[in-house]
Amino acid sequence: MLMIMSVIGHIEYQLCRFAEGHYTVNRLIDLAKDQLDTVWDELPRQEVKQLDNWLRNQVRTTNGEARLRWGLVREVFDTVLEARPELTLVVVVS
């Protein structure tokens, strides 16, 4: 059975592999940046928001070393997002 994965599903899968792997901090950052840079232009704005929410949840629901690793992936996402002002997400604070 052939399973087709969405772009966002593929990114989430890859980022999980990186964050949960046994990579050095530098390698983790490089892998996450390469993955996001590679697929960024294919992401519709709504999927960028979905990925943003998913990453926030990953950081929020982990602890210890896992939280640090997800925090690094989150920072890479923020850096890639900042480099593309046309996709800046609007954050509503209540």
Q: pTM for the whole thing?
A: 0.82
What was the pLDDT predicted at 92? 43
Closest among 47, 60, 58 to 89, alpha carbons compared = 47
pLDDT at residue 65 in the model: 94
C-alpha distances in Å from residue 72, one per residue of 29, 39, 51, 87, 93: 7, 19, 15, 21, 24
Q: What is the per-residue pLDDT across 16-71, written as a single tens digit (0 to 9) for each?
A: 999 999 999 999 999 999 999 998 888 888 889 999 999 999 999 999 999 999 99
- Smallest CA-to-CA distance from 17 within 35, 5, 42, 41 is with 35
Distance CA 26, CA 33 (A): 11
- pLDDT over 70 at 89, yes or no: no
Given a cut of 90, whether residue 14 has pLDDT beyond it is yes
